Amino acid sequence: MNDAASLPVVIVGGGFSGAMLAARLAERGQASVLIERGEPVGLGVAYSPALDDHRLNVRAERMSARPDRPADFTDWLAAHAPAFADPNGFAPRRLYGLYVQARLAEAETAHPGLIRRVKGEAVRIEGEAVVLADGARIAGRAVVLATGNPPPRPAVAGDGPRRIADPWRPDALAAVEPDDDVLILGAGLTMVDVVLALQAEGWRGRATVLSRRGLLPLAHGARHDAPIDLPPEALQGALSRRLASARRLAREHGWRRVMEGYRPITADLWRAATTAERARFLRHLRPWWDVRRHRIAPEIAGVLEALKAGNRLTVVAGRARTMTTDDHGASLTIRIRNGEARSLSAAWLIDCTGPGHDAARAPLTAALIAEGRARVDAVDLGLDLDAEGRVLHADGAADPTLFVLGPPARAAFWETIAVPDIRRRIEALADRLAA
């Protein structure tokens, strides 16, 4: 019988989170098996686009995958893509994917035999083993779910030939003609990427974007904004008191500096919040948080402004009620914020509402919930986890061998999308798993 300490850590998902965890484990002498159903490893949804206009939303100087080498990514850019080596700039996500792959390959070369890649789809977790669709069973000493962002969940019921439900599917936008008008559900980062992808293919049509608040992502400043020291009233007490303090600080110092002040402590504040506070934040403040926290490169913001000025991008605040599509186009019935009903129509309807996290329906995690090995958190963001990222059983006990990393861990840490945030979680998890 194998000694548990000699078994690998089994990582489900080969995007940034899984690949960089495998690298850090290898550097600590811990073997891992990296399971990825697609190719290539290291990219995930975020770093797969080939379009250079799909930029990182964090400056290059803050995107090192190695906490011990803060300039690792900018040094890599200087050697492999010097045109984008500006530490203050926002490099193409395509290049970052290549960097992640190079980082993983470096770890594999330096620590031979400690990272095993497996192509396959994980369908079940049994104890500390992962079962693949082909029946293979991979045993380990712990399992880490690093499955990344899933496709959007339908924002409105219905389907049809002119609805694009998953804009990240290969060639999802290929059928859109240059002069086609489009309806886009959702005004966040996915919408920005879709508009840029259409533009790159010579699209000349108009886009009508529907979101509940009608807010677009805001831009980074010309340089990195130094964080301010947040006073106690911005960190403690009722949410209304904290919000009033944050607004005052934003007027005095600029909202970007306020957001930078919150950035390193967001996960701690989220974990300290009560269920009622989390629910209030999600219901009332989340849209305003998202557009400021997840900012876009200034040059990308300029593209959106030019489209708006040219009457090619219109943002409508409202909710979708019903949808119809046929071979010629798509129509939406919406209710705008004053309660009035309106109808919108275009050649295509594109769902850009963002990742459709639903742990209770995703087969891999639904089975864990059904057997009591996992539960959904109180505000329905995802699997309930403890402060170390361990899955909580139905009775609240932490599973000692089952962890979640990256975007699917948002219920526990809230901010688990940007590389600097995931990098911190990777370090903490690698320390624990290699102990």
- Which pLDDT tens digit goes with each residue over 143-198? 999 999 888 887 787 778 999 999 988 899 999 999 999 999 999 999 999 999 99
pTM of full prediction above 0.85: yes
At residue 142, the 3 state secondary structure works out as strand
With cut-offs at 50, 70 and 90, classify the pLDDT of residue 247. Answer: very high
CA distances from 264 to 169, 208, 209, 269, 348 (A): 33, 35, 32, 10, 40
Residue 149: which of 56, 47, 45, 54 has the closest Cα? 45
Say if residue 217 is preceded by a cis peptide, omega within 30 of 0: no
CA-to-CA distance for 150 and 45, rounded, in angstroms?
A: 9
Contacts of 371 (CB under 8 A, 6+ apart): none
CA-to-CA distance for 354 and 187, rounded, in angstroms?
A: 9
Quick: pLDDT tens for 376-405.
999 999 999 999 999 999 999 999 999 999
At residue 188, the 3 state secondary structure works out as coil
Quick: pLDDT tens for 183-196.
999 999 999 999 99
Task: Report the largest interatomic distance among the alpha carbons of the chain, rounded to a whole angstrom.
Answer: 69
What percentage of the chain carries pLDDT values higher than 70? 99
Amino acid at residue number 385? L
